[in-house]
């Protein structure tokens, strides 16, 4: 299914580059974006059906959180409302400086992707539902912090948003 989607997405990108009408250009770009999104969903489903064996290595949580925030911002870009349909709200991700947390052994890519998904969800929740007056016109604000629990020898990453339940 990814092969036909790649053709659809590629042709939509070419079409968007050639179109001069702003509205039609935006529609062609949306087709390309949604094709890429569907391709990622298919890839995620395949990985879920046959999980990838973790590649254990030394993990620096500060860099993993920074990378996850960047991915989340790309997934729920500035100007996208809940559901990714546009809306003009900015995403503000505040990351508390990570200090005194020892390196851990884990699959950095899997941890990064999991944190990115949680941050993406927090961005979308912070933007609120379309008709929610409390959040209308508000920017999405997400706070990320990490700490080390010496009793359990665990790194705890907390993502806080001010979104609707």
Residues 43, 123, single domain; the answer is: no
91 and 113 part of one domain: yes
- Indicate the number of domains in the chain: 2
Shared domain for 127 and 107, answered yes or no, is yes
- The number of C-alpha atoms within 13 Å of 83 and in the hemisphere containing its C-beta is 6
The pLDDT of residue 23: 92
Give the single-character DSSP code of 94: E
For residues 146 and 73, state if they share a domain. yes
Residue 79: per-residue pLDDT: 45
Domain around 38: 1-51
Whether residues 42 and 70 share a domain: the answer is no
d(CA 102, CA 122): 26
Domain identity same for 73 and 16: no
Q: Do 85 and 10 share a structural domain?
A: no
pLDDT digits (tens, 9 = 90+) for 133-160: 344 445 678 999 999 999 999 999 999 9
pLDDT at position 159 is 93
User: How far is the C-alpha of 70 from the C-alpha of 135, rounded, in Å?
Assistant: 23
List phi, psi (to 5°) of 88.
Answer: 80, 15
pLDDT score recorded for residue 89: 53
Clarify whether residues 47 and 72 are in a common domain: no
Q: For the chain, which residues score pLDDT lower than 70?
A: 77-91, 127-139, 165
In degrees, rounded to 5, the angle at the alpha carbon of residue 14 between the alpha carbons of residues 10 and 17 is 140
Residues 66 and 47 in one domain: no
pTM for the whole thing?
Answer: 0.61
Q: In this structure, what DSSP letter does residue 50 have?
A: S
Asked if 80 and 105 sit in the same domain, the reply is yes
């Amino acid at each position: 299914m990814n092969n036909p989607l790649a053709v659809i997405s590629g042709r939509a990108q070419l079409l968007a580059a050639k179109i001069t009408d702003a509205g039609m250009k935006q529609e062609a770009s949306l087709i390309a974006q949604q094709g890429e999104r569907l391709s990622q969903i298919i890839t995620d489903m395949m990985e879920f059906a046959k999980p990838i064996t973790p590649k254990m290595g030394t993990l620096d949580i500060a860099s993993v959180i920074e990378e996850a925030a960047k991915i989340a911002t790309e997934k729920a870009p500035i100007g996208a409302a809940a559901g990714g349909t546009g809306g003009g709200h900015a995403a503000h991700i505040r990351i508390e400086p990570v200090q005194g947390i020892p390196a851990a052994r884990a699959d950095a890519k899997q941890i990064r992707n999991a944190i990115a998904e949680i941050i993406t969800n927090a961005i979308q929740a912070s933007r609120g539902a379309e008709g929610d007056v409390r959040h209308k016109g508000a920017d999405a604000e997400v706070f990320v912090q990490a700490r080390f629990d010496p009793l359990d020898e665990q790194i705890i990453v907390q993502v806080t948003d001010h979104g609707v339940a």
